[in-house]
Amino acid sequence: MFFRQLVWTGSILSVDPSTRVCPFCGDPPGVGVFCVACGRNLADVARLPTSAEYKGGAAHDPSQGAAGSLVTRAADATAAFLEAMRAAGNPGVAEIPIGKPSSFRRTRRLRGWVVRPVDREDFEKPARYQPGLVLTVEGRFHRLDNELRGWGQRDFPHYHHTASPDPIDLPLEARLLDELAEVRAANGVGGEPPARAPVSGA
């Protein structure tokens, strides 16, 4: 059970301006994961806004946290990454095929950095597949996939990497900030490079 902090303003019952409220509806959310007023899931909300912040329009973004919204932080980190890499001459940039090859035209490629490698397991149980992430030199994110090749051949296993033909939205994940920093460090821009396996575009 939760207690709402309520004050009387004339004859109207209102929420105390310092009370933490749901960023979706503006009412006290209760103590559970779901807001008791509107039913929205609050598990990914880093910091609930106060009633005063909500009414002032400063915290209607559910991803808002103490260090600013994840949207802003991800966008700023991406812009800073691109600026630093361009200033350094775009070290570590790779050419990655786009989509499936065509028999009638040359395979298109994009130029960018593998921010998140494909995470897959083919030989142990349980099998898994999580696509990766590419950031182009123009500042667009693309999904990274790979295909297991070379069955019965000497170079097995061999993974053929491709990027999605169309860009994807800015990934709103906190780990993106660390991944961008790791790529910078791996290429000697802003830190010591950790070991990272190269991605083959063959």
pLDDT in tens, 95-116: 999 976 655 667 789 999 999 9
Residue from 133, 149, 139 nearest 96 by CA:
133
β-strand 94-97 against 119-121: which pairing, if any? Answer: unpaired
For the residues 119-131, what does the mean pLDDT come to? 86
For the residues 159-172, what does the mean pLDDT come to? 91
Does this model's pTM top 0.85? My answer is no
Residue 122: predicted pLDDT = 77
Higher-pLDDT residue of 80 and 55 is 80
C-beta separation of 15 from 6 below 8 A: yes
For residue 34, give the 3-state DSSP assignment. Answer: strand
- Mean pLDDT over the full length of the chain: 77
Residue from 121, 112, 120 nearest 167 by CA:
112
Q: How far apart are CA 116 and CA 91, in angstroms?
A: 17
For the residues 72-76, what does the mean pLDDT come to? 89
- pLDDT-based confidence at 145, cuts 50/70/90? very high
Residue from 122, 143, 142 nearest 131 by CA:
143
75 pLDDT more than 50 = yes
For the residues 168-188, what does the mean pLDDT come to? 93
Higher-pLDDT residue of 149 and 167 is 167
Handedness of CA 67, 175, 71, 137 (dihedral sign): positive
Residue from 46, 43, 19, 16 nearest 32 by CA:
43
For the residues 30-58, what does the mean pLDDT come to? 74
Higher-pLDDT residue of 118 and 56 is 118
Q: How far apart are CA 138 and CA 35, in angstroms?
A: 40
Q: How far apart are CA 62 and CA 103, in angstroms?
A: 47
- What Å distances lie between residue 10 and 13, 14, 55, 56, 198, CA to CA? 8, 10, 19, 21, 68
